[in-house]
Amino acid sequence: MEKITTSQFKLAKIGPMNLAQRIEQYLPEQVLELVKTTSKQADKLGGKLYLVGGVVRDLLLGYPNFDLDLVVEGDAVKLAQQIAGIGQSKLVVHPRFGTAKLSYGNFILDMATARSESYAKSGALPTVAPGTLNNDLSRRDFSINAMAISLAPGNYGELIDPYQGRSDLEQRLIRILHPKSFSDDATRILRAIRYEQRLQFGLETQTARLLKQDIPRLDTISGDRIRHELELIFREKHPEHAIKRLGELRALQRLSPSFKGNGWIAEKFDRARCLNKPNQLPPLYFCLLIYQLSERENEQFIRHLNVPKKLSQALHDTLHLKARLSLLDKPCIKASEIYYLLHEYDPLAIQANAIASESSTVQSHLQLFLTKLRYVKTLLNGEELKRLGISSGPEMGKTLQILHKAKLDGEIKDKGDEEKLALSIRAIKEED
Ligand code: ATP
């Protein structure tokens, strides 16, 4: 079946609110089958199944998105358990949250029981209870994300759009659902800017006013949630646009006062994309984001965002190495010297410095380490060295280090060279 492409697509031409045909064109056949089976099963259980959130927005825009979020008016966990028996699927359920994840090869169906939410206090996580589809849509962030498409056999394809999301899509607007939205949950400030920049939309007038007014509320959000939203920004194609905009709004500075989000970031993020695969980019962007901070500010940022150990090590290493880059800024430096200066740093920190350093000499030394030196290994192992008469313990360690250094510097090449050098080290030891 022919798929919709963005250029073929005109939002204004959707016409009637039944999207049955569009679903058939949009979803891959395998997913469509699965969705229909799930819907029939929901019907048998007396429930109703809906496609919700980002996938509905993107289906209307004609953008590909196969992260299928399904809401069930009924019991999502029970439904998922029944569906899991069909085909080769992997099921993970969270009965406490009424959610289930079904994976079929490359496709994932996220199923959730429709729920209502209320906020006891600004910035806190909401109190959740089972509810209707309308309850579920009313807890969402923006009108363009608060639409659903019915998959129930009786009204398959019907668009449910209580907040005029489709009209906002046509007018290219990001609009909150109620005036307390940002004060209930200030992560929506970061989300609004992410969508604004991704879709090249504008903020609706009242949304823009309240967003600016509620920026200080970002201080009420837990570090984990802020970090999650930053990670989502870093998965965008051009995260520097959102970072710049958040900098202009002075929202970025709530995360660390010295963040700027200026042209420097844009240039470095762009270089990062040229040098790395997409899945390596988010942690690298983090290292570049903190590059202009002092070590103390970096420390505070890591603590504030409760950064996990692996990433926090990379962030520490980034600034530690930055302070030592002058040691690498000389054209005649031995490869072994480069190696021993860098080998204890996290490779992400080295990559970040290779991108951020203004010196081409430093850049090429860092790249040499990343692409070559860190993989250099001696060919002789401990057993073979023992056979050459080198005893295990400190002597072995020292010999291996000398061999490794000679190999890095190109003084020895093959196993024969290594044996000769090892024997001469032993002979010198014996003379001593
Ligand atoms: P995309 O980034 O393409 O929108 P997505 O739809 O999967 O992907 P998520 O961040 O996973 O985006 O959120 C899923 C849905 O959950 C959103 O469409 C939105 O309706 C809702 N949502 C997520 N976070 C919030 C929030 N803080 N407040 C209200 N609704 C939210």
| Domain parsing of the chain, residue ranges | 1-171, 178-290, 309-374, 382-431
- Predicted confidence at residue 61, as pLDDT, reads 95
Ligand 1 atom at minimal distance to the Cα of residue 185: 27
Pick the CATH number of 1-171 from 3.30.460.10, 3.40.50.1000, 3.40.30.10, 3.40.50.10860: 3.30.460.10
- Predicted confidence at residue 17, as pLDDT, reads 62
Residue-wise pLDDT tens for the chain (432 aa)?
A: 333 344 344 454 555 567 999 999 888 888 888 899 999 999 999 999 999 999 999 999 998 887 899 999 999 999 999 988 776 778 999 988 889 999 877 788 999 999 987 777 766 677 778 889 999 999 999 999 999 999 998 899 999 999 999 999 999 999 999 999 999 999 999 999 999 999 999 999 999 999 999 999 999 999 999 999 999 999 999 999 999 999 999 999 999 999 988 889 999 999 999 988 888 999 999 999 999 999 999 999 999 999 999 999 999 999 999 999 999 999 899 999 999 999 999 999 999 999 999 999 999 999 999 999 999 999 988 888 888 888 888 888 888 999 999 999 999 989 899 899 988 887 776 666
Residues 6+ apart with CB under 8 A from 116: 128, 129, 130, 131, 132, 135, 136, 138, 139
Pairing of strands 90-94, 99-104: antiparallel
Whole-number Å distance, alpha carbon 184 to ligand 1 midpoint, is 15
- Predicted confidence at residue 2, as pLDDT, reads 34
CA 50 – CA 1 distance, rounded (Å): 23
Atom 18 of ligand 1, nearest CA residue: 53
Q: Could you tell me the end-to-end alpha-carbon distance of the chain, in angstroms, rounded to an integer?
A: 80
Classify residue 229 as exposed, middle or buried by CB count within 10 Å of its CB (0-12, 13-18, 19+).
buried
| Gyration radius from the chain CA atoms | 28
CATH architecture for residues 178-290 = Orthogonal Bundle (1.10)
Ligand 1 site residues, Cβ closer than 6 angstroms: 53-54, 67, 140-141, 145, 185, 187-188, 232
CA 142 – CA 168 distance, rounded (Å): 10
CA 285 – CA 398 distance, rounded (Å): 39
Atom 11 of ligand 1, nearest CA residue: 54
Pairing of strands 107-113, 67-73: parallel
Pairing of strands 159-160, 173-174: unpaired
CA 201 – CA 188 distance, rounded (Å): 16
What SS3 state is found at 284?
A: helix
In three state form, how does the secondary structure of 230-246 look?
HHHHHCCCCHHHHHHHH
Backbone angles phi and psi of 279, in degrees to 5: -70, -15
Backbone CA torsion sign across 108, 109, 111, 117: positive
Whole-number Å distance, alpha carbon 17 to ligand 1 midpoint, is 23
Quick check: 51 and 151 in contact, CB under 8 A? yes
Dihedral, CA atoms, 210, 212, 217, 222, nearest 10 degrees?
Answer: 110
Whole-number Å distance, alpha carbon 232 to ligand 1 midpoint, is 10
Atom 10 of ligand 1, nearest CA residue: 232
Whole-number Å distance, alpha carbon 69 to ligand 1 midpoint, is 10
Give strand pairing partners of 130: 115
Whole-number Å distance, alpha carbon 108 to ligand 1 midpoint, is 16
Backbone angles phi and psi of 124, in degrees to 5: -75, 165
**Cα separation values, 155 from 18, 62, 287, Å:** 9, 22, 49
Pairing of strands 148-150, 48-52: antiparallel
- Which of 109, 77, 70 has the alpha carbon at shortest distance from 96? 77
- Which of 140, 227, 150 has the alpha carbon at shortest distance from 185? 140
Quote the pTM value: 0.89
- Predicted confidence at residue 432, as pLDDT, reads 63
CA 406 – CA 70 distance, rounded (Å): 60
